[in-house]
C-alpha cells in the first residue's frame, strides 16, 4: 500500500521532506534513518498537473444510465470502519463525504452511469451474500469488498475472477496498489487488490499513539528521535513502559485506575509480530505460500515478545482480559493519561483527536536496531477488492473500475489523507511525517491476510489466555495451517 498522493498532498509531502526529522543523512546502517519513501507519481510543482497527466487511457463511453453495484461490508458494530465514500446520498459539508458525492456526479456526467452500494453490516453476512449469489449463478455484484478474515474462502470456492482477465484496468497506475496485487497472488494468479475505489483500506493500518504528557512527566526519551535514530525497538518500548507503570490507587494490584506502559488488544498482537519481522507465511517458489512462522527465528522472537507483552506489571490487553474490559476497550485509559503507548489502528487515532489528550504517532517498533521498520496492515479487517466470477460484463466493469479508482485517487485520497489524516489526526509535523512513512511503506503478510485455518485469529486468542508457549501452539496448528494452504493452491493451480 505505497500510497501515491496526488494534487495538494504531493506538494505537502515535498514540503515535509524539507523538515529535519526524517531527512536522510546517508551512510547509516539499515534502519537507522526513516526515509519518506512515498512514491508520488507524476509529481510536479503545480497542483493538479500530475492528475491531468495521469488520466486513465480510456475511450469515450456512454453506459446509458447503467448502474454499477458494489458490495461493501462493515466490521460488525464498529462504525469507524463503515464504507462512507461509495454512495453518499447528499452533500453534508464533511470533506470525504462531499468528495465521494462529487465523484459520483462526475462519473454520471462523463459516462452516464450510476453507483449502487449494497452494504452488509459484517464480513460474515457479506460472504454469505457472495456465496449465495455466485452459487445460484446470479450476476448480483459488479465489484465486492471482502475483508481478510474470510476472503480466502471465496478463492478456494472459485467465487472470484482472476484480475488480470479484466479489460481496461492498468494495475501499474498509482490508483491501484500493485504491492497488494503481487504480495497476495497465489501461484501467479491475483484475485484481490487494494485500490482507490475506497479509502477504507487506509483505515486498516497499524500505528502507535504515545502520550506526550507522560513522556515529559517521566523525562523519557523522545519517541520521535528514537524512530529517526533507528532505536525505536520493541525492547525500548518495554523499557520505557516499565519506567511508567505503577499501582496508582495503592490496592496492591494493577487495574483500571493504575498507570500502564502498554495498552494492546488481541487484534494488535499480529501487527506487533509483523513489525518485528515475524511472518505467518511468505510467497515461495511458483507463488506458493510457504509457512515461515515455525522457523527458529520466528518462534524465538515470538516467545520473547509474548513473554514481555503478556506481563501485566506494565502491559495489558483491554479487549480480552476480563478484569480490564472497558466501554471503549482501545482508548479509554489512554484518554485518561493512564497509558504511555497505545498499540492501535488508524480509526482510533481519529477518535482520540476529538478528545483532550496530547499524543503523537509512531510506527509499530521493530525488533532490532539493525533492521528496518515494517509498517503493516490490520489483516483481518483489511477490505480488498474482488470481482465475482458471475460477473458477465467484465469489459464494462473494467472500464468502470479504472475510471472510478482514478477519480478516487484524484479526489478521495487527498480528502482523506490531507484533510483528515494530516489535518485532523496529526497534531504536529513529526506525526505527519510518521504517517507519510507508514503509508508509503506498507508491507503484507500473506499468511496474516489470508487467515489460513483462522490462524491469525488464533494468535490473537493467545493474548486472552496470556499463553507464551508458542512452540506448543505451533506444533498443534501447523498441520491444519498447511492443509488450508494446500487446498487453496490446489484450487488455484
Residues 395 and 280 reside in one and the same domain: no
Residue 321 is predicted with a pLDDT of 83
100: in domain: yes
Residues 120 and 62 reside in one and the same domain: yes
- Selected residue with higher pLDDT from 403 and 22: 403
SS3 for 216? helix
Largest CA distance in the chain: 73
Residue 115 is predicted with a pLDDT of 98
Asked if the model's pLDDT at residue 42 lies above 70, the reply is no
Residue 36 is predicted with a pLDDT of 39
Residues 188 and 257 reside in one and the same domain: no
Residues 156 and 211 reside in one and the same domain: no
- Pick the closest to residue 214 from 341, 312, 355 (CA basis): 341
246: in domain: yes
Specify the residue for cell string 487495574. Answer: 255
Specify the residue for cell string 466493469. Answer: 397
Q: How far from 293 is each of 1, 206, 298, 341, 455, CA to CA, in Å?
A: 23, 20, 5, 26, 11
Residue 22 is predicted with a pLDDT of 39
Asked if the model's pLDDT at residue 485 lies above 70, the reply is yes
User: What are all long-range contacts of 50-54, with beta carbons under 8 Å and residues at least 24 apart?
Assistant: 50/6, 50/7, 50/10, 51/6, 51/7, 51/409, 51/410, 54/6, 54/173, 54/174, 54/406
Residues 243 and 370 reside in one and the same domain: yes
25: in domain: no
Measured CA angle at 420 (ends 416, 423), to 5 deg? 130
Asked if the model's pLDDT at residue 259 lies above 80, the reply is yes
Task: Give the pLDDT band of residue 51 (cuts 50, 70, 90).
Answer: low
Residue 475 is predicted with a pLDDT of 92
Asked if the model's pLDDT at residue 170 lies above 90, the reply is yes
For residues 125-134, average pLDDT: 96
- Selected residue with higher pLDDT from 315 and 7: 315
Residues 385 and 161: their CA atoms lie apart, in Å, by 11
Residue 37 is predicted with a pLDDT of 39
Q: How far is CA 452 from the centre of its chain?
A: 18
Asked if the model's pLDDT at residue 387 lies above 60, the reply is yes
Asked if the model's pLDDT at residue 10 lies above 50, the reply is no
Q: What are the helix (H) ranges across 233-391?
A: 234-244, 268-275, 296-309, 332-335, 346-353
Asked if the model's pLDDT at residue 71 lies above 80, the reply is yes
Asked if the model's pLDDT at residue 390 lies above 90, the reply is yes
Residues 215 and 351 reside in one and the same domain: yes
> What are the b/e assignments for 20-29, b being 16+ CB within 10 Å?
ebbeeeeeee
Query: Of 393, 424, 440, which residue constitutes the final position of a domain?
Result: 440
283: in domain: yes
Asked if the model's pLDDT at residue 28 lies above 70, the reply is no
For residues 270-278, average pLDDT: 96
For residues 387-406, average pLDDT: 98
Residues 167 and 230 reside in one and the same domain: no
Q: What are the helix (H) ranges across 163-230?
A: 178-183, 212-217, 223-228
Residues 430 and 353 reside in one and the same domain: no
Provide, rounded to the nearest whole percent, the portion of the chain with pLDDT above 70. 88
Residues 140 and 187 reside in one and the same domain: yes
Residue 104 is predicted with a pLDDT of 98
- Pick the closest to residue 282 from 480, 73, 443, 399 (CA basis): 443
Asked if the model's pLDDT at residue 266 lies above 70, the reply is yes
Give the highest mean pLDDT range of 108-117, 424-433, 447-456.
Answer: 108-117
Residues 359 and 272 reside in one and the same domain: yes
Pairing of strands 315-317, 289-291: unpaired
Side-chain half-sphere of 235: how many Cα atoms within 13 Å? 7
DSSP 416: I
Query: Of 376, 393, 416, which residue constitutes the final position of a domain?
Result: 376
Query: Of 324, 345, 376, which residue constitutes the final position of a domain?
Result: 376
Q: Which of 52-56, 180-184, 249-253, 475-479 has the lowest mean pLDDT?
A: 52-56
394: in domain: yes
Query: Residue 328's domain spans which residues?
Result: 206-376
Residue 459 is predicted with a pLDDT of 93
Task: Give the pLDDT band of residue 478 (cuts 50, 70, 90).
Answer: very high
Residue 432 is predicted with a pLDDT of 85
For residues 362-373, average pLDDT: 97
317: in domain: yes
Residues 412 and 306: their CA atoms lie apart, in Å, by 39
For residues 66-82, average pLDDT: 94
Residue 24 is predicted with a pLDDT of 30
Residue 100 is predicted with a pLDDT of 98
Asked if the model's pLDDT at residue 47 lies above 60, the reply is no
For residues 26-46, average pLDDT: 36
Mean pLDDT of the chain: 88
Asked if the model's pLDDT at residue 31 lies above 60, the reply is no
Asked if the model's pLDDT at residue 45 lies above 60, the reply is no
Decide if 7 contacts 410 (C-beta within 8 A).
Answer: yes
Residues 118 and 144: their CA atoms lie apart, in Å, by 9
32: in domain: no
How many domains would you assign to the chain? Answer: 2
Residue 70 is predicted with a pLDDT of 98
Residues 352 and 335 reside in one and the same domain: yes
3: in domain: no
Task: Give the pLDDT band of residue 348 (cuts 50, 70, 90).
Answer: confident
What do you get for the CA distance between the two ends of the chain, in Å?
26
Residues 216 and 336 reside in one and the same domain: yes
For residues 321-329, average pLDDT: 73
Strand partners, 177: 194
Which CATH number is 365's domain given?
Answer: 3.40.190.10
For residues 89-94, average pLDDT: 95
Residue 234 is predicted with a pLDDT of 98
Residues 479 and 475: their CA atoms lie apart, in Å, by 8
Asked if the model's pLDDT at residue 228 lies above 80, the reply is yes
Residues 312 and 318: their CA atoms lie apart, in Å, by 11
Give the highest mean pLDDT range of 29-43, 201-215, 432-446.
Answer: 201-215
Residues 437 and 445: their CA atoms lie apart, in Å, by 18
For residues 435-440, average pLDDT: 91
Amino acid at each position: 500500500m505505497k500510497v501515491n498522493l496526488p494534487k495538494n498532498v504531493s506538494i505537502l509531502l515535498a514540503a515535509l521532506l524539507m523538515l529535519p526529522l526524517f531527512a536522510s543523512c546517508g551512510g547509516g546502517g539499515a534502519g537507522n534513518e526513516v526515509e519518506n519513501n512515498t512514491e508520488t507519481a507524476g509529481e510536479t510543482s503545480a497542483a493538479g498537473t500530475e492528475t491531468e497527466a495521469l488520466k486513465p487511457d480510456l475511450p469515450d463511453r456512454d453506459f446509458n444510465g447503467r448502474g454499477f453495484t458494489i458490495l461493501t461490508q462493515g466490521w460488525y458494530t464498529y462504525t469507524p470502519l463503515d464504507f462512507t465514500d461509495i454512495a453518499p446520498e447528499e452533500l453534508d459539508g464533511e470533506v470525504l463525504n462531499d468528495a465521494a458525492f462529487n465523484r459520483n456526479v462526475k462519473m454520471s456526467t462523463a459516462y452516464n452511469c450510476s453507483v449502487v452500494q449494497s452494504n452488509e453490516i459484517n464480513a460474515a453476512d457479506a460472504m454469505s451474500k457472495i456465496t449465495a449469489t455466485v452459487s445460484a449463478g446470479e450476476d448480483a455484484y459488479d465489484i465486492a469488498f471482502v475483508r481478510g478474515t474470510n476472503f480466502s474462502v471465496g478463492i478456494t470456492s472459485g467465487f472470484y475472477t482472476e484480475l488480470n482477465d479484466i479489460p481496461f484496468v492498468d494495475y501499474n497506475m498509482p490508483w491501484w496498489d500493485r504491492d497488494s496485487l503481487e504480495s497476495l497472488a497465489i501461484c501467479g494468479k491475483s484475485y484481490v487488490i487494494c485500490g482507490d475505489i475506497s479509502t477504507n483500506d487506509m483505515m486498516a493500518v497499524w500505528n502507535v499513539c504515545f502520550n506526550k504528557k507522560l513522556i515529559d512527566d517521566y523525562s523519557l526519551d523522545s519517541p520521535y528521535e528514537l524512530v529517526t535514530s533507528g532505536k525505536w525497538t520493541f525492547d525500548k518500548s518495554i523499557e520505557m513502559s516499565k519506567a511508567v507503570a505503577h499501582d496508582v490507587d495503592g490496592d496492591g494490584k494493577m487495574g483500571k485506575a493504575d498507570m500502564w506502559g502498554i495498552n494492546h488488544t488481541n487484534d494488535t498482537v499480529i501487527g506487533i509480530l509483523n513489525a518485528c519481522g515475524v511472518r505467518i507465511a511468505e510467497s515461495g517458489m511458483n507463488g506458493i505460500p510457504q509457512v515461515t512462522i515455525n522457523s527458529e527465528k520466528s518462534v524465538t522472537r515470538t516467545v520473547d515478545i509474548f513473554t514481555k507483552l503478556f506481563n501485566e506489571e506494565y502491559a495489558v490487553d483491554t479487549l480480552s482480559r476480563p478484569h480490564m474490559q472497558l466501554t471503549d476497550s482501545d482508548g479509554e485509559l489512554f484518554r485518561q493519561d493512564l497509558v504511555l503507548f497505545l498499540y492501535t489502528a488508524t480509526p482510533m487515532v481519529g477518535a482520540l483527536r476529538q478528545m483532550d489528550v496530547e499524543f503523537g504517532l509512531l510506527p509499530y517498533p521493530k525488533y532490532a536496531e539493525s533492521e528496518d521498520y515494517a509498517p503493516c496492515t490490520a489483516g483481518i479487517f483489511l477490505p480488498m477488492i474482488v470481482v465475482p466470477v458471475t460477473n458477465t460484463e467484465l469489459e464494462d466493469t473494467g472500464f468502470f473500475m479504472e475510471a472510478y479508482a482514478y477519480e478516487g485517487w484524484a479526489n478521495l485520497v487527498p480528502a482523506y489523507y490531507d484533510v483528515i489524516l494530516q489535518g485532523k489526526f496529526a497534531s504536529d509535523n513529526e506525526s505527519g511525517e510518521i504517517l507519510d512513512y507508514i503509508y508509503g511503506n506498507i508491507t503484507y503478510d500473506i499468511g496474516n491476510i489470508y487467515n489460513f485455518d483462522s490462524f491469525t485469529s488464533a494468535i490473537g486468542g493467545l493474548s486472552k489466555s496470556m499463553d507464551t508457549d508458542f512452540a506448543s501452539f505451533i506444533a498443534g496448528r501447523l498441520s491444519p495451517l498447511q492443509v488450508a494452504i494446500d487446498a487453496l493452491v490446489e484450487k488455484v493451480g
